[in-house]
Amino acid sequence: MPDQTPDPQSQPQPQPSDAGLRHRFAAALHAARGPAGGPDPAPYADALLARWAEPWRRYHTAAHLTAVLEHVDTLAGYADAPDLVRLAAWFHDAVHRPDRSENEERSARLAERALTEAGLSEDRTAEVARLVRLTASHSTAPDDRDGAVLCDADLAILATGPAAYAAYAAAVRAEYGFLPDETFRAGRADVLERLLALPGLFRTPYGVREWEARARGNVTEELRTLTGRCPSR
């Protein structure tokens, strides 16, 4: 049962391995395609890993991908189609340029092109792309079990301990190093305020119980540090 899985704060940070990640991608794609099969997954995994290794990335790296995949595994019992969620995790930040605002849409379109070519059915490809687009807002419908798992896995970093959260915030700042401090603080504060305005940061029962309070405290403290004000919520 997913409720018995340890939370991310008590676990060592995942160390990305290209071989291990290729195996994860192949397993998810094989399972999602089913008996119809399709092309060798390896070139698609390699193309995605090259994106996740782009030199301007500081937080949205293969380490983040690995962490999200680990959290999807933790929450897989809450998903209707966990392998589609795993594929969505691979694509959710595959296109990431810090100076662009349409990264999630471009990532979803990449998923539509690549997964169609890789042999995934039209309806399953559309579902992966839908999930990727959800990560722009992390706002899911109450009955969207797969969306809840992906968004919770993506936001689980918010529920880490003080040192890990500080490292995460520093990596995000480094990724936007081209912005002056004042501009970054305003933009980051807007992101944090939108997260805090959600009905809850997490949707799965595990996320609500194990991560919500700690994450909300971390985000509130970061917002206070950036702006000097405390949100009412």
Q: What is the pLDDT of residues 53-92, one digit of tens each?
A: 999 999 999 999 999 999 999 999 999 999 999 999 999 9
Domains, in order of start, for the chain:
16-227 (1.10.3210)
CB neighbours of residue 98 within 10 Å:
17
57 C-beta neighbours (distance < 10 Å), count: 20
Q: Is the pTM of this model over 0.85?
A: yes
Tokens at 43, concatenated: 């070139």
pLDDT above 70 covers a percentage of the chain that reads: 91
Cβ atoms 96, 132 nearer than 8 A? no
- Determine contact, residues 150/131, Cβ cutoff 8 Å: yes
What per-residue confidence (pLDDT) applies to 231?
A: 60
Q: Two tokens at 118?
A: 């890789």
Q: Is 192 exposed, middle or buried (0-12, 13-18, 19+ CB in 10 A)?
A: buried
Among candidate residues 79, 53, 95, 222, the one with its CA nearest the CA of residue 151: 79
Name the band, by pLDDT with cuts 50, 70 and 90, for residue 104: very high
Residues 52, 38: Cα–Cα separation, whole Å: 24
